[in-house]
Amino acid sequence: MSDTRCKLLENFDDEVREKLKMRAKDSQAILSRFEKRLMQLTRHELRDQAEFLSDMAFDLYKLPQDANQAAIPLGRYELPRQSGDAFTYRVGHPLAEVVIKQAKQRSLPAATVEFDYGSHDGKVSILEPFLGQRGALSLSLLRVEALDQVEEHLLFAAVTESGEILDEDMAERLLSLPGRVVLQRVDLAAEVKCQLDELTQRQEKQQRQAISQRNAAFFETEAGN
């Protein structure tokens, strides 16, 4: 039964696998999309300081640069923790904060990236029609201060070489695939860059409108009380 369940999971679409939320003791543990992002980022940032045992566990044998040794002990980290001698890895942990800060500070000039769908552990059905195609993709960070709080939103923009626009979910799923940089520091054509900028600005406008509507509803509720 366990073997059959694993085979089924391998053939499920990623969105289905995320919604199942199966426990590790019953089958292969399926991390949430947010947790999976954190572990993927950690694997990339700590590739020279840690040995990754699975998608949920790694052994940290060397501290990253500028890390506080007192707050970040060496040893095994798990998300979620499955063994008593491991540290619980999560957003908010000092190690995770260092990893995120390190990644956000890196300069990322335009480059050519080749995504390998065949090496992805699972299925992403919405991307299968685009196999073998080329295109352009950008990812921007929108930071908004409202009601004494700071919100951050990722803005995805992607378009194929033939001019077909990928929606936000497609672009996000594309970045979840294994990939490698095949050419660094490339120059995008002016019309492509303009199209990506327009898509990004459209998303930014939608996000700001949604935030404004939410804040207006909050003020109305507070005024009614």
Count CA atoms closer than 13 A to 53's CA, side-chain side.
Answer: 13
Return the residue matching tokens 């939410």.
214
Domain coordinates in residue numbering, the chain: 31-104, 111-224
Q: What is the pLDDT along the chain (225 residues), one digit of tens a residue?
A: 566 655 555 556 666 655 555 444 444 445 577 888 899 899 999 999 999 998 899 999 999 887 877 789 999 999 888 878 899 999 899 999 999 999 988 888 899 999 999 988 888 899 999 999 999 999 999 999 877 788 889 999 999 999 999 999 999 899 889 899 999 888 889 999 999 999 999 999 999 999 888 888 877 777 776
Q: What is the pLDDT of residue 9?
A: 57
In this prediction, residue 26 carries a pLDDT of 43
Q: Residue 170: what pLDDT? A: 92
Q: Model-level pTM?
A: 0.71
* pLDDT score for 78: 94
Helices assigned H by DSSP within the chain: 2-11, 14-20, 33-45, 94-104, 168-174, 190-224
- For residue 139, what are its two tokens? 């990812």
For residue range 66-116, list pLDDT tens digits in order: 787 778 999 999 988 887 889 999 989 999 999 999 998 888 889 999 999
